[in-house]
Each structure stands twice: as structure tokens, then as C-alpha cells.
């Protein structure tokens, strides 16, 4: 709270300085609407901020001034000199109170009533002059003494930007230097460069952090604000906050502070109903307000969701229709969504009376303007009678993103690592692309996904071959993006690109990777939009179904011809295997894949390598199993009705399409194989002083050959085979493969094929 | 338009143009261009200016001059460009040649050339030719095509009600 107060003081001081010109200008020309608006916004902001900082005196002063200014804005009152003087006196007073708060000094509040009364124009002008003299002149002498030492420094963003780009220049220069030095190969210079690299990296982090702040800063005052506002309007509200650890540009946080406060106030004052109304509607007496933040790709998404009455669009339309009769026809044609969006129109309040809480319609249009100033968007999800969700989507202006660098449509682009669920290498025979007019879909791991091809999207000739698919997630769904290649990942700073580039709609910003070639960040949401993908219907269903999210199961035909299923989450992937990758060792089939051996389940009758063509790769923690199947059919929701059964690896039987189907229990499968994995895998002892080297270089090869590599035998363990260097003077007993340091003596230590052959010979 | 001010004299598609030196960040030779698919043809691509990224603009396209032999984006096409910042974004405006820096007095655009005044502040007398003084802000705003045709049908729909 202390930090917030400090910030409020610094901010008010700054605005006061900035606005002093406006005030003087307004005094000279009271009809100047722009100046009036600026002053009005100032007092309105003060009122908003001090409401939740619990500064009742400032609230009272600013509220009074706002009332008077509002009357002038509405044309109910002429801005005569007396009013101007009274407003100025109040603004001066606000400045004094702020300085007093900062210095922790007491400030006599006498005269404030008179200041406020002066606004109504009631007292004779003479009195105003007296008040002026007493309250403005006297504290002026004291003001410098009140100022306490500031604990923070406020820097211009330009200065920080200069620092950022300076550091980025340094990183690029460092990279060039590194390339140059590598050619020279001087280890001493390289060590120095290493130190430079560390320093530069630290500096880059620090400089970036100067502009980043956790969104917690923005959320911290909310509990208090909610409590106070709810107390004023006599409602019960329970607040939940999520995602406070999302990091955001400080500048952005400043810009979002006011909109967020407005939205929360609105939600409590206008959205959530009175307790009686809630009871009548069958809702719990306490309203629920949920404020959350999360990073979705290149956006920060802030949602303010209440379970109140939502926006009464009929009343809204009726009100605007009354005030602006010429729009009746246009209003009548609006969709529900557009009708709700009418709340963003300037000068509108759905309440007819202004309250001390939410004000008078300066709300939503200002909120929208503020959010759009950040380059963001504001969206409403209005569910009449059930609540309103306001989403603020603000761009990551200065985020460091973990970027996946990809090639697509003949150019290099970046994807945010966060939106990429997986990258699937396409096996031509396994992936089928179905086209329906302009849209296409692809089946990835039993799931049909829309397929988006950048070349097609950009109206270029499409390449025939599909090499890689990136499964990317957007807010409401997932789709597959065709890629040519994935080259690298890097942590990169994202900056907004020029408007001409952003207008294409598929880019989220630009980056400069270490090689100094600009890189465009793809906006996966924009791509989905441009490709005409719509997840709306799907997402709404998902919202309703969240409570009873069904477990999904993969349906397949087993090697013995029986149709079975297994919980889909247990299946890491479905893999087609060549028979050469399956070997029999120690009575168990082993699948060699990515340099490791995985046991193959044989309970359903796969005893020969030829039986294994397609496997389900199961993975739980670090235990792995390959389950051979004939064909994988599809993913189905697991039926609610499950008859327990206890036969083999099955844990139950359920009806799928009218047929009873066994449901396999992945834990039992792994358990059944557990003994085989631990006990029957023969040991390979890495003997002698070269053990560590062997472990590093040969272990993958040894394990791929079906052994477990150890450097020391536990008591009672016996090695099937031992590896020792050919020149080892103290070879172990038993079967030994001698490794030579050069070709010709024993098995040459870098001859992988020979080593595998020797190991397999020993195992047979 | 009072008094003279310093301008760069450049040629674009055979036409002489003036660019206020006060707005010029630097003059560079762009050698590597990263294409931006899907943009207006006037956007040649992106180029790195040390640690910053500039959007390279083909001035000929924006001015509606003969595209001529457009520089092929690629490692060998060196394009001379004038770097400027507009609304916080860095742009490199590609020109054919860059000749001189001199003081010029800018005169108003002759009447009847409204199309040109969309991107120019006025004209000045050069050596045997009339030089067009570019308005960089409007030049950048005109990237997507003629300025007066900028409202898309969609924009027109949404903006009409609020004006009413």
C-alpha cells in the first residue's frame, strides 16, 4: 500500500505540473472545451485513485469539483469566473494535501467546506477571496519544507529505450567479435570474451527488467478497492485474482491502472445485483468477481468477470434512442454483440444517477480509449442475467519471448514458444490432408485439426509436400500450421512493427536475433482469423462443459484382433515402427527408438518382431512402454458407465457404439513390464579408468543394444559383458569386449556398428 | 513555409525530391532485405540498422512513379535509403540517387495537383527542374495506397454510427 501511495503522490504531482498550464488557459478562455475536458479528467482520476487509497478528504474535494465540472460539460452551468476560481482553489488544495501526505505532515482541513460551498456559487465573492488567501498563499511558503525525499526515480521512457537499444547494439557487436575470435582460436581471448558475454547478458537482463513489472502491482489494490466499493453500495462481493506473476511493461501497467479500477468499480456498482435481487434470481448472496491475467502468445489477456446482471441492452438501446432519435433505425439493426458495445459510446451511463462510486459515464469510453492507446483491444462477453466478462487484450510491447525460429512460405519467421503445443514431423504415408473448398484439415494423432498453410494464406503457389506441422493454440482452439523447417530457438525481445507491416494481420511484432537479420513474429490468432477459422461455437460449448470434462480414450484394434481402448492421456504418441527397430532380447521384445530401448508389451500376443508394426508409446514419469496395436481407430469420450473387470491389463468394460470394449489400465501395463525392465535387462560394466569417458560416449549405444550400463556392480549383480580398454592392465573377469584406441586393436572405440554387433553377439 | 531550410536532394524514379534534413536520422545502404509477405507493394521489407529494425519503403511506389527496375530484395541489391522515424517506428525510404544537401525555400504546391499534395509539402526550384518537398508523415501514411481511398468498407460501417 505504501508503494501505491508513493506512486499516487508522484503521479499527481506530475499531472498537477502538466495541468497547471491548462488551468491557466481555462481561466483565460472558460469556453475552451478541450481544456475543460483535461481538467475534468484530472479530477476524475484523482477521485478514482484516492477512493481506493482511502483518502477521504481528497475524495470529497475531487468529487465536488467533478460535479461542478460535469454540470459545465453538460451545459447546465456556464463557466463563469467565480466557478473557475473555485475550481482552481480546489485543485490547489489537492496539491497541498498531496504534499502534506507525502511529508507525513498534518494539514488543517478548515476552509475545505467553504471551498466546496464556493463551487455552488452561494457565498459572496468576498468570502472566496478570503478562502483563497488563507489556503493558497499560506501553504505555499511551507510547500518546499513538506517535500520528503523520493525513494524512486522517475525516468523518461525514451532514456530507457536508448539504454535498451545500446545494450542490443552491444550484444550484436559481441556476437561479431565472438565469430571473429573463434576463427583465431586463441583460448586466452576466448576466456576474456566469455566474461564479456556474461556481463553483457546480465546487463541486458537488468535493463530489460527496468521496464518490466509483475502485474501484481496492478492487482494489489484490488482487494481493498472491492471491499470499500462493495461496502458503499451495500453488496457482498468475493474477489479472486489469478495470474499476478505475468510480467508487463511498466508503461503498460501505468496505462492499465485507471481502466482496471473503472472496470472493477463498474462490475460492483452496475454489474453485481443487490442481495435481494440475487436471491430472487437464485444466485448466492455474494457476487463473484474474478480478475485474471495471462499471457496468450504475444498478448496479455486481462479478464474482469462478474456473475451479475450483465448489460441490459434493451434499456441501453432505449436510452440512446431517446437521446438521439435520429439513430433509432440504425439501433434497431444492431446485433446483440453490437448492442452491448454501445456502452463504449462517449457520454453514456447506463445509470441515470451518478454515484460516488462509478461516476457518470466517463467510464467505458475512457476505458476503451486508454486500452486502445496501448495498442490493445477491449471485448465484452455479455450474458444477460448471468454476468459480464470484459477482456482487455494488450500487446506485449517489450516482452522477451522464447521464440521458435521456423521457415515457412519461403521466409524465416518466429513463433512464440508458448503457443506451440508441439511440432510434428510429417510422415507422408501417415498424414492425410482433406480439403473442403478453401479449408483443409489434417489428422494429427487421431485428432482432426484445421490446417493452415501460409503460402495459401498469402495467395502464393502452395508446395505439395507437407514436411512439418506446428500444432498451435489460440484462445479458443488449436490448429496446425504447415512449416518447412524449424531452425532454432532464441530468447528475443519483441517490438511492435510498423503499421504497414502490422496491417497484414498475421504478424505480432519484429525481432532482431543474434545474426542481425530482422525476424517477424507470427501472430497465430491473426493467422487463424485471416484463414477464416472460427472456434466460437466450440469454445462456448467448452465453457459449459468444463465441470464435466469427459476423460478421452483412444480406441484401437489390438494385435489379437480385439477392440480395446486406453485413456488417451497415457498415450504419448502413436508410432509406426519398422521391424528392424524391434529386437528380441532376454525373452522380451525391445523397440529401439531415438537411441533408447523401450520394452514392448507382449500380453496381447505380440511375440515376434514381425507382429509389431504400430505401437502406442506410453509414458508415465520416466517409465516407458510400447504397446503394439494393429490399428488406432479414434479418440472417443470415455463412457460414464464402466463395469469393473479384472482380466489381464483391463480395468473395466464400457459400451462403445453398442459393443463392449475393454479399457486398459496403463498403470497395470507398466507394472506388468516393470519386472522385465528392471531385472531382465543385462548389465554392461564399464571397467577401468576410462569408465567416465565410456559413460559419456558409449552409454546411448550400449543401452540401445538392450543393456543397462553401470560403472560399478552392486553386491550380487553380475555383468553379462564388460567393456575395457585394450591396454587395460587389469581387465575384469568374465566376458570382456576390448576397446582399441586405434583401428586394428580390439573393437575400435569409435566404431559404433562394430560395438553394437559385439554387444548383441554377447547377449544372444 | 517561411525562410529556407536544409534539405536532402534525391531522385526517385526520375523525379527530384527534397527531404528535410531535420527529419533524417541517417543515410544508409541497405544490402540485406527481409521480405514481409502480404504487405502493400511499397513495403520492400525489413532491414537491420544496427540494433534497430527499419521498414524499407519504395518511394517510387508510394509516389505512383514508374516502378522501373525495382531493386530485387536480396543480398546483392544495395539500395540507398534515407532513414527517418515516424510515430516511433523507423523507416528507410529507398531512393535511386542522393545528390546534395542544400537550403531551399519551399513554395506551395501549384493548384490542381491535389494528388501530389497528398504526400508533398510543396515544391522548390532546383537546377533546371522542380523538386517535390516530401511530407514524410503523409508519405508513410500513404503506403497502403492513395490516401483518400484508405477507408475500407468495414471501417466505413463502424465509424458511421459514432459520427451520427
By three-state DSSP, how is residue A584 classified? strand
Q: What does the pLDDT look like over B64-73, one tens digit per residue?
A: 776 555 554 4
Under 8 Å CB-to-CB from B104, ≥6 apart: which residues? B4, B5, B7, B18, B124, B126, B131, B133
Under 8 Å CB-to-CB from A762, ≥6 apart: which residues? A720, A721, A735, A737
Q: Minimal Cα–Cα distance from B60 to chain A, Å?
A: 16
Minimal Cα distance from A408: which residue of B?
B37
Interface contact flag, A411 B46, Cβ < 8 Å: no
Kindly give the parts of chain A with pLDDT less than 50: 123-150, 350, 352-362, 537-549, 675-679
**Identity of the residue in A165, A326, A457 whose CB atom sits nearest the CB atom of B164:** A326
Cα separation, A169 vs A157, in Å, equals 18
The CATH number of A408-542 is which of 3.30.1490.100, 2.40.50.180, 3.40.50.300, 3.40.50.261?
A: 2.40.50.180
The confidence band for B56, taking pLDDT boundaries of 50, 70 and 90, is very high
The CATH number of A682-763 is which of 3.40.1710, 1.10.3470, 3.40.50, 2.30.30?
A: 3.40.50
Distance from the first to the final alpha carbon of chain B:
37
Strands, E, within A677-732: which ranges?
683-686, 708-710, 719-725
Q: Does A373 touch chain B (CB under 8 A)?
A: no
C-alpha cell recorded at residue A61:
474535494
**Identity of the residue in B50, B143, B161 whose CB atom sits nearest the CB atom of A327:** B161
Interface contact flag, B55 A517, Cβ < 8 Å: no
Strands, E, within A104-147: which ranges?
none
C-alpha cell recorded at residue A93:
488544495
Question: Which CATH number is associated with domain A216-395?
Answer: 3.30.565.10
By three-state DSSP, how is residue A752 classified? helix
Minimal Cα distance from B91: which residue of A?
A498
Q: Does A329 touch chain B (CB under 8 A)?
A: no
Distance from the first to the final alpha carbon of chain A:
73
Q: Which residues of B touch A (CB under 8 A)?
A: 32, 34-40, 42-43, 46-48, 50-53, 55, 57, 87, 89-91, 140, 143-144, 161-162, 164
Beta carbon pairs, A and B, within 8 Å: 84
Q: What does the pLDDT look like over A45-81, one tens digit per residue?
A: 888 777 767 777 888 888 888 888 888 887 788 777 7
Cα separation, A559 vs A605, in Å, equals 7
Residue A168 with chain B: CB contacts under 8 Å: 51-52
Cα separation, A313 vs A338, in Å, equals 9
Q: Cα dist. A398→A47, A292, A494 in Å?
A: 31, 21, 6
Position A221 scores a pLDDT of: 80
- Residue A552 and residue A656 in contact, taking contact as beta carbons nearer than 8 Å: no
Q: What is the DSSP string of A304-321?
A: EEE-S----HHHHHHHHH
Phi, psi of A192 (to 5 degrees): -65, -40
Q: Minimal Cα–Cα distance from A248 to chain B, Å?
A: 20
Residue A517 with chain B: CB contacts under 8 Å: 32, 34, 48
Residue B39 with chain A: CB contacts under 8 Å: 500-501, 503-504
Position B77 scores a pLDDT of: 56
Minimal Cα distance from A513: which residue of B?
B51
Determine how many CB atoms are found less than 10 A away from the CB of residue A194. Answer: 11
Position B74 scores a pLDDT of: 44
Phi, psi of A317 (to 5 degrees): -65, -40
The CATH number of A550-677 is which of 2.40.128.20, 3.40.50.300, 3.90.10.10, 2.40.50.180?
A: 2.40.50.180
Query: What crossing angle do the helices spanning A2-28 and A81-103 adopt, rounded to 10°?
Result: 160
Pairing of strands A563-567, A433-436: unpaired
The confidence band for B84, taking pLDDT boundaries of 50, 70 and 90, is very high
By three-state DSSP, how is residue A508 classified? strand
Cα separation, A170 vs A162, in Å, equals 12
Under 8 Å CB-to-CB from A658, ≥6 apart: which residues? none
**Residue among A563, A564, A568, A573 at smallest CA distance from A553:** A568
Position A24 scores a pLDDT of: 64
Residue A512 with chain B: CB contacts under 8 Å: 48, 51-53
Cα separation, B127 vs B71, in Å, equals 27
C-alpha cell recorded at residue B54:
527499419
Q: What does the pLDDT look like over A507-522, one tens digit per residue?
A: 888 888 877 789 999 9
**Identity of the residue in B37, B48, B55 whose CB atom sits nearest the CB atom of A516:** B48
CATH class entry, domain A2-146: mainly alpha
Phi, psi of A451 (to 5 degrees): -110, 130
C-alpha cell recorded at residue A250:
511498466
Helix (H) or strand (E) holding A444: strand A439-444
Position B93 scores a pLDDT of: 92
Interface contact flag, A500 B161, Cβ < 8 Å: no
**Residue among A395, A686, A449, A447 at smallest CA distance from A555:** A447
Residue B47 with chain A: CB contacts under 8 Å: 518
Interface contact flag, A520 B140, Cβ < 8 Å: no
**Identity of the residue in B35, B40, B162 whose CB atom sits nearest the CB atom of A411:** B35
Q: Minimal Cα–Cα distance from A198 to chain B, Å?
A: 19
C-alpha cell recorded at residue A651:
480395468
Q: Which residue has the cell 540507398?
A: B80
Strands, E, within A507-570: which ranges?
507-511, 519-522, 552-558, 563-567
**Residue among A416, A413, A388 at smallest CA distance from A403:** A416
Domains of chain B: 4-163 (2.40.50.180)
Q: Does A163 touch chain B (CB under 8 A)?
A: no
**Residue among A7, A506, A511 at smallest CA distance from B52:** A511
Amino acid at each position: 500500500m505504501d508503494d501505491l501511495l508513493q506512486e499516487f503522490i508522484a503521479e499527481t504531482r506530475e499531472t498537477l505540473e502538466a495541468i497547471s498550464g491548462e488551468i491557466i488557459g481555462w481561466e483565460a478562455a472558460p469556453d475552451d472545451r478541450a481544456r475543460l475536458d483535461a481538467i475534468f479528467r484530472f479530477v476524475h482520476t484523482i477521485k478514482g485513485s484516492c477512493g481506493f487509497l482511502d483518502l477521504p478528504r481528497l475524495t470529497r474535494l475531487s468529487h465536488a469539483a467533478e460535479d461542478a465540472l460535469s454540470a459545465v460539460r453538460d451545459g447546465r452551468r456556464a463557466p463563469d469566473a467565480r466557478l473557475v476560481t473555485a475550481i482552481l482553489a480546489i485543485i490547489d488544495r489537492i496539491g497541498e494535501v498531496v504534499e502534506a501526505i507525502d511529508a507525513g505532515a498534518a494539514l488543517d482541513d478548515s476552509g475545505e467546506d467553504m471551498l466546496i460551498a464556493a463551487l455552488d456559487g452561494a457565498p459572496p465573492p468576498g468570502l472566496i477571496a478570503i478562502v483563497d488567501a488563507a489556503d493558497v498563499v499560506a501553504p505555499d511558503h511551507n510547500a518546499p519544507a513538506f517535500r520528503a525525499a523520493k525513494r524512486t526515480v522517475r525516468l523518461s521512457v525514451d532514456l530507457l529505450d536508448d539504454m535498451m537499444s545500446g545494450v542490443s547494439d552491444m550484444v550484436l557487436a559481441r556476437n561479431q567479435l565472438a565469430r571473429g575470435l573463434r576463427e583465431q582460436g586463441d583460448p586466452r581471448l576466448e576466456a576474456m570474451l566469455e566474461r564479456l558475454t556474461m556481463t553483457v547478458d546480465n546487463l541486458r537482463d537488468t535493463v530489460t527488467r527496468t521496464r518490466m513489472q509483475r502485474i501484481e502491482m496492478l492487482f494489489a489494490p484490488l482487494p481493498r478497492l472491492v471491499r470499500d466499493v462493495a461496502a458503499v453500495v451495500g453488496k457482498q462481493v468475493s474477489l479472486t485474482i489469478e495470474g499476478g506473476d505475468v510480467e508487463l511493461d511498466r508503461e503498460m501497467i501505468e496505462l492499465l491502472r485507471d481502466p482496471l479500477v473503472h472496470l472493477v468499480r463498474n462490475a460492483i456498482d452496475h454489474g453485481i445485483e443487490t442481495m435481494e435481487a440475487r436471491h430472487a434470481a437464485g444466485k448466492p448472496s455474494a457476487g463473484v468477481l474474478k480478475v485474471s491475467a495471462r499471457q496468450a502468445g504475444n498478448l496479455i489477456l486481462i479478464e474482469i468477470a462478474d456473475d451479475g446482471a450483465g448489460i441490459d441492452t434493451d434499456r441501453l438501446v432505449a436510452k440512446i434512442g431517446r437521446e438521439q432519435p435520429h439513430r433509432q433505425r440504425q439501433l434497431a439493426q444492431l446485433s446483440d454483440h453490437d448492442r452491448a458495445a454501445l456502452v463504449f459510446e462517449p457520454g453514456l451511463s447506463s445509470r441515470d444517477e451518478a454515484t460516488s462510486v462509478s461516476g457518470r459515464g466517463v467510464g467505458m469510453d475512457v476505458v476503451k480509449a486508454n486500452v486502445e492507446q496501448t495498442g490493445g483491444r477491449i471485448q465484452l462477453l455479455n450474458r444477460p442475467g448471468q454476468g459480464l466478462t470484459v477482456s482487455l487484450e494488450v500487446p506485449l510491447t517489450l516482452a522477451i519471448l522464447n521464440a521458435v525460429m521456423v521457415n515457412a512460405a519461403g521466409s524465416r519467421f518466429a513463433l512464440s514458444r508458448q503457443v506451440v503445443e508441439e511440432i510434428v514431423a510429417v510422415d507422408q504415408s501417415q498424414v492425410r490432408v482433406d480439403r473442403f473448398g478453401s479449408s483443409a484439415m489434417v489428422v494429427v494423432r487421431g485428432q482432426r485439426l484445421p490446417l493452415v498453410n501460409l503460402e495459401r494464406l498469402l495467395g502464393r503457389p502452395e508446395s505439395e509436400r507437407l514436411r512439418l506441422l506446428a500444432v498451435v493454440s489460440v484462445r479458443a482452439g488449436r490448429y496446425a500450421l504447415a512449416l518447412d523447417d524449424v531452425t532454432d530457438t532464441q530468447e528475443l525481445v519483441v517490438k511492435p512493427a510498423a503499421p504497414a507491416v502490422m496491417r497484414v494481420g498475421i504478424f505480432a511484432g519484429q525481432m532482431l536475433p543474434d545474426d542481425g537479420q530482422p525476424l517477424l513474429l507470427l501472430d497465430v490468432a491473426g493467422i487463424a482469423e485471416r484463414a477464416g477459422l472460427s472456434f466460437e461455437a466450440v469454445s462456448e460449448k467448452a465453457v459449459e462443459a468444463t465441470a464435466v470434462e469427459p476423460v478421452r480414450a483412444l480406441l484401437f484394434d489390438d494385435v489379437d484382433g480385439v477392440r480395446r481402448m486406453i485413456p488417451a492421456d497415457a498415450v504419448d504418441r502413436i508410432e509406426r515402427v519398422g521391424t528392424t527397430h524391434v529386437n528380441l532380447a532376454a525373452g522380451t521384445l525391445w523397440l529401439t527408438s531415438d537411441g533408447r530401448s523401450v520394452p514392448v508389451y507382449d500380453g496381447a500376443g505380440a511375440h515376434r518382431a514381425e507382429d509389431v508394426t504400430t505401437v502406442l508409446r506410453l509414458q508415465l514419469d520416466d517409465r516407458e512402454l510400447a504397446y503394439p496395436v494393429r490399428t488406432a481407430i479414434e479418440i472417443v469420450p470415455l463412457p460414464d458407465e464402466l463395469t469393473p473387470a479384472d482380466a489381464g491389463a483391463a480395468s473395466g468394460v464400457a459400451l462403445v457404439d453398442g459393443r463392449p470394449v475393454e479399457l486398459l489400465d496403463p498403470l497395470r501395463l507398466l507394472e506388468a513390464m516393470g519386472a522385465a525392465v528392471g531385472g531382465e535387462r543385462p548389465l554392461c560394466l564399464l571397467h577401468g579408468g576410462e569408465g567416465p569417458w565410456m559413460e559419456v560416449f558409449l552409454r546411448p549405444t550400449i543401452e540401445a543394444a538392450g543393456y543397462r550400463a553401470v560403472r560399478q556392480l552392486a553386491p550380487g549383480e553380475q555383468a553379462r559383458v564388460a567393456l575395457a580398454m585394450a591396454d587395460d592392465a587389469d581387465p575384469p573377469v568374465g566376458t570382456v569386449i576390448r576397446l582399441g584406441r586405434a583401428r586394428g586393436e580390439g573393437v575400435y572405440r569409435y566404431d559404433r556398428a562394430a560395438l553394437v554387433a559385439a554387444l548383441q553377439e554377447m547377449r544372444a | 513555409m517561411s525562410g529556407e531550410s536544409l534539405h536532402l536532394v534525391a531522385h526517385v524514379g526520375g523525379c527530384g525530391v527534397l527531404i528535410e534534413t531535420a527529419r533524417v536520422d541517417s543515410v544508409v545502404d541497405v544490402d540485406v532485405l527481409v521480405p514481409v509477405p502480404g504487405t502493400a507493394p511499397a513495403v520492400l521489407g525489413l532491414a537491420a540498422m544496427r540494433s534497430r529494425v527499419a521498414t524499407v519503403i519504395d518511394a517510387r511506389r508510394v509516389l505512383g512513379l514508374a516502378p522501373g527496375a525495382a531493386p530485387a530484395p536480396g543480398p546483392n541489391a544495395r539500395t540507398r535509403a534515407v532513414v527517418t522515424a515516424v510515430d516511433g517506428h523507423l523507416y528507410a525510404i529507398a531512393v535511386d540517387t542522393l545528390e546534395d544537401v542544400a537550403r531551399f525555400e519551399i513554395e506551395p504546391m501549384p493548384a490542381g495537383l491535389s494528388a501530389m499534395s497528398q504526400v508533398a509539402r510543396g515544391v522548390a526550384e532546383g537546377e533546371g527542374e522542380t523538386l517535390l518537398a516530401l511530407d514524410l508523415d503523409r508519405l508513410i501514411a500513404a503506403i497502403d495506397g492513395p490516401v483518400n481511398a484508405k477507408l475500407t468498407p468495414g471501417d466505413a460501417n463502424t465509424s458511421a454510427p459514432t459520427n451520427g
